Structure 1
Amino acid sequence: MGTKIKKDFFFWVILLIMLLVISIILGIAFGSTNISPKVVYEFLISKFTGTDIQIEIPKSVGTIIWEIRLPRTLLAGITGGALALCGVLMQCITRNSISDPYILGISSGASAGAVSVIVFGGSLAGMLGVAGGAFIGAIVCGILVFIIGTQLGKTSSTTRLVLSGLALSTIFSAITNLLIYSAENSNQAKSAMFWIMGSLGGAKWKVIWFPLIVLLIVFIISLILSKSLDLLLFGNDSAIMLGMNVKLVKSIILFISILLISVVVSLTGAIGFIGLVVPHIARNITGTNHKRLIILSVLLGSVFLIVSDLIARVLFSPREIPIGIITALIGGPFFLWLIAKNNYSFGGKK
């Protein structure tokens, strides 16, 4: 039985890696200006390997591929993987099947910070200025959640943590709405609303490296702690009886989750449903073993958001719609179907 599960797992890993490569090529190829996927593939091979492949493309097309669409597609993959990973971690430490990366109010803190820059920042209201404001807002909210929800790591109460996150989310959401209402012109309000619903439009090479590094660090730490995450599913008391330091493990998971969510949300805005839906899909594939669950969720989340971003760009091309609308339209019905399945449970495969 164990051998079969491992074979199934490796099959899904290979399949998702193939889908990830295909989705990256398609995400670069299509948009307001369509480019042949074959040209995109050959161009990328030439760039990454340094080989001289003879392809005749205008310089402007090369610029679109390398400077605009590739960074955006990579940021979509990084963000999707990060949100899915945080979803797994949040659902584990709260032991709540409807937890997602935003349950601690981090997105609301980021939104308040970003909208503050958009409304009052003036010349600072560029992408980096907005991202900086969002990051500060997210970190402030994360610190407050840690202080109030865990009493500086002294308690591992899930209820206290979740209620603290919900209360802070409500407060920061109210601040965001107040800021939008106080905007001096419609353009500021429109920019704020577009950012709140999620956008990858500000992706550039210089901004994708930091979230990628943070994602890799959190991914590695999560794999190292995967056995502890498995134990947490049995409850705090059982985990303590088995020799685990529950407060320490939960504090570490909470800290790395807050850090990763803060970095991602500061660049893309609030993109919902990925951290909620993707971990459930992965559980149906591989069960509750967190080592396998984390790997599949990151790959699946990356593919999901790249495809969603592609739809957001081509649906009403050349206009772009906020990506959060697409993820909600895809993720919402799918999650309802998942709930309606008679054989579905939080534990995944039986």
Structure 2
Amino acid sequence: MQVSIENSRNLSKKRGFLFWTIALIILLAGTIVGAIAIGSTYIEPGEVYKILLNKLSNGMLFSGVGEVMTHNIIWEIRFPRVLLGAICGAGLAICGVLMQCVTKNPIAEPYILGISSGASCGAVAVIVLGGVSSIGINSITSGAFVGSIISGVLVFAIGTQMGKTTSTTRLVLTGMAISTIFSALTNLLIYSADNSNQAKNALFWTVGSLGGAKWDVLLIPFVALVIVMIVAFLMSKSLDILLLGDDSAIILGINVKLVKSIILILATFLTSTLVAITGAIGFIGLVVPHVCRTIAGSDHKKLIVLSALVGSIFLIASDIAARGLFPPIEIPIGIITSLVGGPFFLYLISKKNYSFGGKE
């Protein structure tokens, strides 16, 4: 009898997860079409849908629909931007899941290790000083990537004593200290800018934007996202056990130091790759995992899937607001995510039945 009840509960959970997955995929598709349709030149969603299918099918479907200019706006400008938003939203949300698991800290997010501050400092240094030559897509993203890697290495080396300790308190405090140092350097660089235009560009970059999206910049963050998702899926059981505590995980045969080191390296790699292109976009890695825990609980396989979908939807919707609130002026997307994410997170933690790990 007890086995039958347990099987019934498991089946109900699987059906609930499947329902939410399908619903979020449909919502993501609708959000993508809406984001492409909205802009300085409004395009009917039906036309967007047909042109996308035409391009994706290499002209086999809906041939002759739309003007050449409309095709270019959709395919060369808006679609890459939406895809970058989906990749970045999914990546930051997954990094949030990983960081909250490793640190067992409900307020941990991808930027808790100072990675975004390092990236911002690197990018602003390029903008203000103009002394870094291009080593990748362009000088700004190259500077941001170098800055994020430097901050990540410093936090890992100091916070974990080169992998010798698993103290999450030491790691978090080290990340906060490194973040403060790089933020101070960034502000110093902005203050020393030669002209207001230079300072404005630097300040805009530090709060995030998808404006630099092009087809040739999508491959690297997409590959990074896929790699991290695959490894996270393979390590999902270990992540579930980590929530029980280090001592319990060791008893159950988990190499805690190795697992935490791998997760930290993955989170640093993915976050630095994303931040180097979009700038610092906050609150996604903090809010989205908590929202998804109310559905999936602490099962990391489900949590990773749902967080990727919700993160993509959230960032794409935020970009729509950033472009559409005060046209033709574009608001930095980090402002929108903070304005929406902050109050929602306060509402979430005010619920009496909410706890880190979600419903079981």
Q: TM-score range by the shorter chain?
A: over 0.9
Q: Distance in 1 between matches of 2:12 and 2:162?
A: 43
Q: Distance in 2 between matches of 1:81 and 1:56?
A: 32
SS at match of 2:209: coil
SS at match of 2:330: coil
Q: Distance in 1 between matches of 2:65 and 2:148?
A: 46
TM alignment of 1:102-251, pairs within 5 A: 102-121=111-130, 128-251=138-261
- Given residue 57 of structure 1, which amino acid in structure 2 is its aligned partner? G
Taking structure 1 as the reference length, the TM-score comes to 0.98
User: Residue by residue, what CA displacement relative to the aligned partner does 1:28-57 show, whole Å, maximum 9, x if unpaired?
Assistant: 110111101101100011111231414442
- Given residue 308 of structure 2, which amino acid in structure 1 is its aligned partner? V
Match of 1:78 among 70, 82, 87: 87
What 5-or-longer segments of structure 1 have no aligned partner?
Answer: none
Percent identity among equivalent residues? 61
User: Residue by residue, what CA displacement relative to the aligned partner does 1:99-141 show, whole Å, maximum 9, x if unpaired?
Assistant: 1110000000000000000001169699721110000000000
Residue 260 (structure 1) aligns with: 270
Q: Distance in 2 between matches of 1:7 and 1:312?
A: 36
Residue 18 (structure 1) aligns with: 26
- Given residue 62 of structure 1, which amino acid in structure 2 is its aligned partner? H
Change (3 A) 1:123 1:67: farther
- Given residue 21 of structure 2, which amino acid in structure 1 is its aligned partner? V
User: Residue by residue, what CA displacement relative to the aligned partner does 1:133-170 show, whole Å, maximum 9, x if unpaired?
Assistant: 00000000001111101111111110111111000000
Q: Give the total of aligned pairs.
A: 350
Residue 41 (structure 1) aligns with: 49
What 5-or-longer segments of structure 2 have no aligned partner?
Answer: 1-8
Q: Distance in 2 between matches of 1:174 and 1:72?
A: 31
Q: Distance in 1 between matches of 2:29 and 2:133?
A: 36
List, as ranges, runs of 4+ consecutive aligned residues in structure 1 with deviation greater than 4 Å: 122-127
The answer as to 2:290 corresponding to 1:280 is: yes
Q: Distance in 2 between matches of 1:306 and 1:225?
A: 28
The answer as to 2:327 corresponding to 1:308 is: no
The answer as to 2:66 corresponding to 1:57 is: yes
Q: Distance in 1 between matches of 2:12 and 2:65?
A: 48
Taking structure 2 as the reference length, the TM-score comes to 0.95
SS at match of 1:35: coil
SS at match of 1:102: helix
Q: Distance in 2 between matches of 1:27 and 1:258?
A: 29
Instruction: Assess if the C-alpha contact under 8 Å between 1:156 and 1:250 holds in 2.
Output: yes
Instruction: Assess if the C-alpha contact under 8 Å between 2:51 and 2:66 holds in 1.
Output: no
1:58, distance to aligned residue in structure 2 (A): 2.1
SS at match of 1:103: helix
Q: Distance in 2 between matches of 1:176 and 1:347?
A: 35
Q: Distance in 2 between matches of 1:267 and 1:334?
A: 27
SS at match of 1:301: helix
Q: Distance in 2 between matches of 1:334 and 1:163?
A: 26
Residue 4 (structure 2) aligns with: none
Instruction: Assess if the C-alpha contact under 8 Å between 2:296 and 2:303 holds in 1.
Output: yes
Instruction: Assess if the C-alpha contact under 8 Å between 1:23 and 1:306 holds in 2.
Output: yes
Match of 1:269 among 279, 283, 292: 279
TM alignment of 1:310-329, pairs within 5 A: 310-329=320-339
Residue 102 (structure 2) aligns with: 93
Instruction: Assess if the C-alpha contact under 8 Å between 1:288 and 1:348 holds in 2.
Output: yes
Q: Distance in 2 between matches of 1:167 and 1:204?
A: 34
Instruction: Assess if the C-alpha contact under 8 Å between 1:43 and 1:55 holds in 2.
Output: no
Kindly report the root-mean-square deviation, in angstroms, between the aligned alpha carbons of the 2 structures: 1.3
Instruction: Assess if the C-alpha contact under 8 Å between 1:42 and 1:55 holds in 2.
Output: no
Q: Distance in 2 between matches of 1:33 and 1:129?
A: 31
User: Residue by residue, what CA displacement relative to the aligned partner does 1:180-226 show, whole Å, maximum 9, x if unpaired?
Assistant: 00000000100011000100000000001100000000000001000
Q: Distance in 2 between matches of 1:57 and 1:38?
A: 11
- Given residue 185 of structure 2, which amino acid in structure 1 is its aligned partner? I
